[in-house]
Structure 1
Amino acid sequence: MSNDRREPATDADERTMLEGWLDYHRQTLAHKCAGLTDAQLRTASVAPSTLSLMGLVRHMAEVERSWFRRVLVGEDAPPIYYSDADPDGEFRLTEADTWAEAYATWQAEIDTARRHAADLALDDPSTGRHRRTGEVFSLRWILTHMIEEYARHNGHADLLRECLDGATGE
């Protein structure tokens, strides 16, 4: 696996640092999926788990959508892969699910997230609220949470990739 990710500059301002680390972790997940077939990307870790690399990418598309569309700007953005009847739908893959679709959807959500955050200050409150708690969040909190979310799931991705082909690394 080649790796062209770059950490943010050590002397960057806070906004640049937060956005840089978020992009670094987004690139890490893409890096963990690089060079694999659709079948490998759909392969679940260990039964009965449904966790797979493609499922993680679909999950992160949902997470980007939730925090940057629904919470940050209050957009009415319905789920992409899950439903009330199937709250873990992003992890339930079929032969019809492709990397091309999952990756394109994830990248579209990332692009939308960047657009929604671009004109806001770090301390600006969200115009939407968390669907379960009703809380409002600052952009700073959302960026920090997204870094944490990706970092946690990148640990899962590391183990999944190693199980698939033995590839390890940052």
Structure 2
Amino acid sequence: MYWRLFLTFVKIGTFTIGGGYAMLPLIEKEVIDRGWLDKDDFLDLFAMAQSLPGIFAVNISIFVGYKLKGIPGCIACALGTVLPSFLIILLIALSFTQVKENIWVEKIFKGLRPAVVALIVAPCITVARSLKLSYKTIAIPLVAALLIWKGGVSPVWIILVAAGAGLVYELYLKKH
């Protein structure tokens, strides 16, 4: 099972461009379609991985590995996730002078940008649908994104305000 976990996450790490959130649909498909986790467990792990500092893709792979096979599962999934990127970056670094000046490489990266945006937006929509969020609830992350993007507000402040608002809601407003 450890090899299957490792190879599954090597596949995910190899064929995902755009970072952790772009990996999310692949991770979700692999672990749910294989029956390793159900949708609710996956959403719980997703929420936990988002709330921790560090690389999202590694966080979620560690949680999946731990849920399935404990500490050895964590190691297998984390290595599987980071090894492809590490090797690719190593190869690029070794040949950087040739790659840096290649016009085709620049065009390839420009072409990948819209695909990466789509890979990040798709899991956001999937999670919103799975959680059955209302339009009012969806407005909260949109306002937060606009405050960060256009207003220059630090994400730290957004997180602190959201945590405080959640506590106030749960402790006082929800009961009344």
TM-score of Structure 1 vs Structure 2, range by shorter chain? 0.3 to 0.5
- Larger RCO, structures 1/2 (Cα 8 Å, 6+ apart): 1
Greater CA radius of gyration, 1 or 2? 2
Greater percentage in helix: 2
